[in-house]
Every structure is written in C-alpha cells, then in structure tokens.
Amino acid sequence: MEFQAKWIRTSEETGGVCPVFRKGWKTEKKVERATLYLTALGVYEAHLNGKRVGKYVLAPGWTAYDKRLQYQEYDITDLLREENELTVTLGKGWFRSPMPGWQDTPDKLQRIGRPGGILGGVHIVYMDGSEEVIVTDQSWIWGESRIRFSEIYDGEFCDDTFVTKEWNTVKEFAWSKEILIPQEGEEIREQEVVAAKSVFRTPAGEMVVDFGQEITGYVEFTVDAHAGDRIHILHGEVLDAEGNFYNANYRSAKAEITYICSEGTQTWHPALTFFGFRYLLLDEFPGEATPEQFRGIAVYSDIRKTGEIQTSDPALNQLISNIFWGQRDNFLDVPTDCPQRDERLGWTGDAQVFTKTASYNFDVERFFTKWLHDLAADQMENGAVGHVVPDYLVGGNASAAWADAATICPWQIYQTYGNPQILKDQFTSMKKWVDYVTNHTTTPCLWTGGEHFGDWLGLDAPQGSYKGSSREDFIASAFYAHSTELVVKAGHVIGEDVTAYEALHENIVETFRNTYPDYRTQTEHILAVQFGLAEDCQKTADALAQMIRDDGCQMRTGFVGTPYILHVLSNYGHTDLAYTLLCRKEYPSWLYAVGKGATTIWEHWDGIMENGEFWSTDMNSFNHYAYGSVADWIYEQAAGIRVVEEHPGFEKAWIQPKPGDQLEWLGASIETRHGKISSRWTHTDDAIRYEIVTPVPAQIVIGEKEYAVEPGKYIFWE
C-alpha cells in the first residue's frame, strides 16, 4: 500500500458476531480520482455511501496468510459524495476458520484464537492537484453488524431487524505489513445464476428446493414477511433413497443460514461464507414457498472458459457438464477437494491430477500462479510439501503424487500457456521437493520408507483400506522419477544447470527397473508406461489392456492411476478399450454417476451404490473434481489436440484425432494463447469425416497419413 495505515480491530471480543468498521469524512473539492486500498485478517465486504465497493466476494481471498496476504485496489471515484461514510464488515473467513473440521491441532487452535482486523485507506487526488489520504487508525469506530454469525463451515446468521446503536473506538494492533502483496490471483466473483427448478415436499414432509444443479455459492431469496419472522435453511447435495433431504455427508459442517426478517418484501443472500449444494431444506420459512423466490448464485474465481467438448452421446455430454461444474465449484481461489463438508482444503493430489484438464477447460494461468506461490511459501525448509495448500494440516508427512504437485503443476501451466515465468518462479521449489525425496529415502535412487496415500480410493483396495493394492514404494519411486525429469525439463527451458538431476534421473530409472521387474496392478502398469520406466512400454501397455479385459473391462484404479489409464491405452494401440471404459455405464465408470443423476463429479465411483444406499457418511463428497481429469484424454486423444512440448502454449500443435465406434461424432476446442484450435470427427455411411481448424502451424495425423499444415481450416476423409 502507498501509505502508512494501522491494523485496527475491535476493542473487545464479539464472539460470533461480525463487526462493522466505520469512517466518515467530507470531500469539499472536486475529485479527479479516488482509490480504496483494503485488506483484512478474515474476509470483508465494503460499502461506501451505502453502495457495495467492487464485485470481489470473500476478499481478500485465501493465501498462506503468515507469509502472503493480498490487498485490493478499488476505484471509488464515482461513489464519493460531499459527505462520505465507508463501512467494512468483517467475517472470520479462512483466516480464523476451524479448518479442518475433523481434528484439533495446535495450529488450528492458534488460528481460531488469533485476532481479526482490517488495514487500508482511501487515496484522493483532487482536480487542483492536491491529495488527501484517509487511513485505518484510531479515528475509526466499530459496532456490531446485523450479521450475527458467519463462518466457512457453519454458515451465516443475519438479523435484518438489527440496528447498530453502540459505536466504539477501534483498537490498533501489531500485525505484519511485510506480508502484503497486491492482488495476485483471480478475484472471486458471483458468476452464473441458477433458477430453482422446483419446490416440493419429501416423503418425510420436508419442504425442499431443488436447483437441478449442484453449485458452490449461496442462495438468494425474496420473501414478503413480517418483522421478526424467522427463516432457517439447510444445504444438501443429494436426496436419500426414499427421496428425503440428506446432508449427513457434510459431517460436522452445519452449512445453514438463519435470517430474521424485517417488515415487507426483502431480498437477501449470505455475504461472508459459501456453500456447496443442490438442495435446500426449508426448515423454517414464512408462507408457501415457490421456485421463483430462490436463485442459486454460483461463486468462484473469475476464470474464463476456454474449452468445449460435445459428443453424440447425451450421457457423455452430461459427464462433460459435470466436469466443468466440478471445476467451477472447486476453483474458489484455491483448488479445493470439495466445497461442502468440513474440509474444503487445497489438496495437492487433486490439483496435480486435474491441472491439465483445468487448463484446457478454463484460463487458469493466474489462478495456479498464485496457488503455486503459496505452495512454495508453505513448503518446509527441508523441501517437504504439505498435503494441502495453504497448509492447514501442518505436521503431516509428505506423500508421493500429492507433494509432486510442486513439479507437475508448474510444468503443465507452462505447457498450456507457454510462459516460462512460472518455471522461473517455482524452480527452487521444484528442486527442493526432489531434494527432499533424495535426502529422506531409505533406498538411494528410489523413494522407500515414506508414508503415502498410495493409489487413494483404488478399486482394488483390500477390505478396510482406502489406498488400493499398488505398492506404495512403487508409486513413490515412480513419481520421484517423474518429478526429477520435470526438474530437468524446466531447467533446460530457463537455462539452469541440471546436470546433477539428469544423472539422478538416469539412476532412478535404472534402479527402478532392477527393483520392480514385475507390475502387479493396473496402476503399477500405468505408471511404469506413463513415466517411461518400463523396459518395454508397448509390452507393458498390452499387459495392462489384457488385465483390464480380464477384470471385465473395468478400471481397478484410484486417484493415482485413473488420470493416466486412457492415455496409456490410446498411446499404445488400445483406443478401442479406452472408449469402452469411457462409455461404460455400469459401476465402476464415469457414466455410472451420470445414471444416478449426478451433476458434478463424485469422490467415489459408487457414492450412491447400486442399491440406492450411500457409500458412507464419513467421506462421500458428490462434488470432487479429481476424476474429471478424464477430460484431458478427450481433448488430447479422442479429439487429438495436443501441445508440442518444444513449442509450449500451442505455438504449434499436434492434432491426431482417434475416433471410437461407440460415438457417431465428437468435437472439442481449446482457446489457446494463439487462438482457438478445434477438431471434430463424424462417422458417415462409408467413411469418417474430420474437420480441423488451427490458428497455428500444426502436424495433423489422420489414420496412417501425416500432414504439415499452416493455419487454416481443413477437411479430411478416412
């Protein structure tokens, strides 16, 4: 910030009540320009002269707060009057949230107990050239707001009859200003508005609102009520087998809103929290509710849609919709695992498996740049990377395939967008991660002796295990090789000496091949091929295909194997089997959930089992984007649009569509930094028609023929 403001807070504890800070002043000269600079320890909403300042929801966002805190700049010139009043309402947000909900740690208890506050000021430039600065200091006052409670997990309570009558002098307090950074990530914004689809009574007699689509955000309702009427609403993702409201899978998160009405017609939505939901239980609501009274407002980072996939199969199109919605719903400033239960954390494993799909679906360069800066900030001195970023699970062991987000994510963002700055920013972090493994393994040139999540939720897991049956040391060593290779590639791009890492990678591959001559699970076969570790990749891919067929054309993979399974099959001549898996409707499959009415991607293939019962209440999210990573196979293999590694950012393209007999047609496009690349194939009576548009030079492969083309539109027949 450009001036010396003071951190200010309330002069006494307010419990769950959100305080509102207030400052008034006069502007007697003509204003040329006025700018508000503002940040908070918590989340804030600012109003100037009764008008909302900016469109940022849940500002200042979520960063590694101890080291990085964003501040925002707002042009408030048009909001100024002669008599001015600026108010800032402060909620706990992520800064003081009891995250994670399922455990108490010293870090969590410290976080809950630390003070909230705001810092900022107004910089006014007058027409006569003079300037005025109004900063946060002891001249401000505070009072209780009408928001009587707000918290990330539990929701919000607003009393619209409450009037702030008692104002108190604020208290200045010491907090670092060295951690302040200008807004770096995309702003969180209100996005799509989803109209309520229906209001109905369940068999249990509950009044429920259905939006027909699971979203992250909040409901806005309009009601004609008397002062003091009470509204109480619970949020849920699914109905149970009998058609009744269900949200036991939210675990300890109350996910509720309470609103005390004022007199007359009024419209309200929460301001300082968010929910993941499709259904609302109207526990208390005045009058007979109608769909027209409710609007679901989707809230997520302001990422621009860049990808599109369409096919001849309605079920597959619904899956694609689910993948896009799962990304929207979980890209709320941080790539979270889920938006609803007492978690909502930036799990690194989920992020790394989905980064490629994410970067094709939406423009996420700025989004991931900010998040990766937080990853580096939270990375331990010894190089270990936490399970979540920002790291609210302090003290856990670094896990393979999760902590490897430190290398996989920056490399993919570079490949998709072509800007080497992300590699320059993250290179030290990338090396530190590989060095951590090198220094903590019990077997040189492998990673053994660690504690990992394995092939999380693998379908081949033994009874009672979440980790799948693939050997943990095998997975860890495979990712050790992959991350080391990415350090080498990144170093070559930005001109760093990576000779030692080149030698290390060669030794890892040799040691891996000597140690693991056999592959026991689908995932072990997949990783050996995907990371170039198998002595004979074709033979290993063929063995994988046979194993899948022997398993009844079913995947047996989890979080680690699933993102790569179709790629390995297609790259080694088994595209027919890849389509069989993609289009399979029975459990386990991507389309199984679609058949059960899913509108986002599930955490478990059978979150709702075939008999209609739930997999569990313990860990059963119906909005978990990770398995949506299958979309990158559709872009890259089915539609055939791939970046050329030596020409990142789609400066040149490789386009090799691979049609499948299960579909009549398929088309996809990606809006790149150089324009939109699109590819579509259609089965006709006696041939396959290809329509390809490329704004960049490209190698187009149709069947056995390869064409070097300049930018343009091309039609091929096979």
C-alpha distance from residue 223 to each of 220, 268, 631 (Å): 10, 9, 41
Three-state SS for 336-348 is CCCCCCCCCCCEH
Catalytic residues: 343, 603
State how far the Cα of 44 lies from the Cα of 57, in Å rounded to an integer: 8
Determine the residue type at 628: G
Give CA 288 to chain center in angstroms.
37
Peptide bond into 588 cis (omega under 30): yes
Per DSSP (E only), the strands in 256-398 are 256-260, 264-268, 275-284, 294-301, 304-305, 307-311, 331-332, 334-335, 362-363
| Tokens representing residue 148 in the block | 């009587």
Sorted by sequence, the CB contacts under 8 Å of residue 685 that are 6+ apart come out as none
State how far the Cα of 344 lies from the Cα of 333, in Å rounded to an integer: 11
State how far the Cα of 673 lies from the Cα of 562, in Å rounded to an integer: 29
Smallest Cα–Cα separation from 45: which of 123, 115, 147? Answer: 147
- Calculate Rg over the CA atoms of the chain: 27
Residue 420, SS3?
coil
**b vs e for 409-424, b when ≥16 Cβ sit within 10 Å of the residue's Cβ?**
bbbbbbbbbbebebbb
Per DSSP (E only), the strands in 571-687 are 641-643, 653-655, 665-672, 675-683
State how far the Cα of 291 lies from the Cα of 598, in Å rounded to an integer: 21
∠ Cα 59 372 53 (to 5°): 15
